[in-house]
Amino acid sequence: TFLVNISGTQIAGSYVNTAKAKGDNTTEVTATSSVEVRVPQVLGAATPELTITKTVNKSTAKPKDILTYTITVKNIGVGDASNVVVTDTLPKNLSFAHATGRTMTWNLGTLAAGHTRVLNVDVRVESDATRGTYTNVATVSADDIPTLQATAKITVTVPTVLGLATTGTGMIDYLIALLGASLILLGIAGITAKNKRDQIA
> Could you report the per-residue pLDDT of 19-75, keeping only the tens digit for each?
889 898 988 888 888 787 777 655 556 889 999 999 999 999 999 999 999 999 999
- What's the sign of the alpha-carbon dihedral 62, 170, 128, 162? negative
Report whether 37 contacts 12 (CB < 8 A): yes
83: left (phi over 0), alpha (psi -120 to 50) or beta: left
Distances (CA, A) of 167 to 20, 126, 153, 186: 91, 11, 21, 28
The 10s digit of each residue's pLDDT in 103-121 is 999 999 999 999 999 999 9
Strands 145-156 and 60-61, how do they pair?
A: parallel
pLDDT value at position 168?
A: 46
Phi-psi region of 141 (alpha: psi -120 to 50; beta: other; left: phi over 0): beta
What's the predicted TM-score (pTM) here?
Answer: 0.60
Report the SS3 class of residue 15: strand
Residue 8 φ/ψ, nearest 5 degrees: -65, -15
The phi, psi pair for 191, rounded to 5°, reads -65, -40
- Tens of pLDDT, residue by residue over 152-188, are 999 999 877 655 444 444 566 667 777 777 778 777 7
User: Picking from 24-28, 84-88, 92-96, which range would have the lowest pLDDT averaged per residue?
Assistant: 24-28
Return contacts of 149-152, CB within 8 angstroms, 24+ apart.
Answer: 149/52, 150/52, 150/53, 150/54, 150/71, 151/54, 152/54, 152/55, 152/56, 152/69
The C-alpha R_g of the chain, in whole angstroms, comes to 37
What is the spatial distance between Cα 64 and Cα 50, in angstroms, rounded to a whole number?
Answer: 34
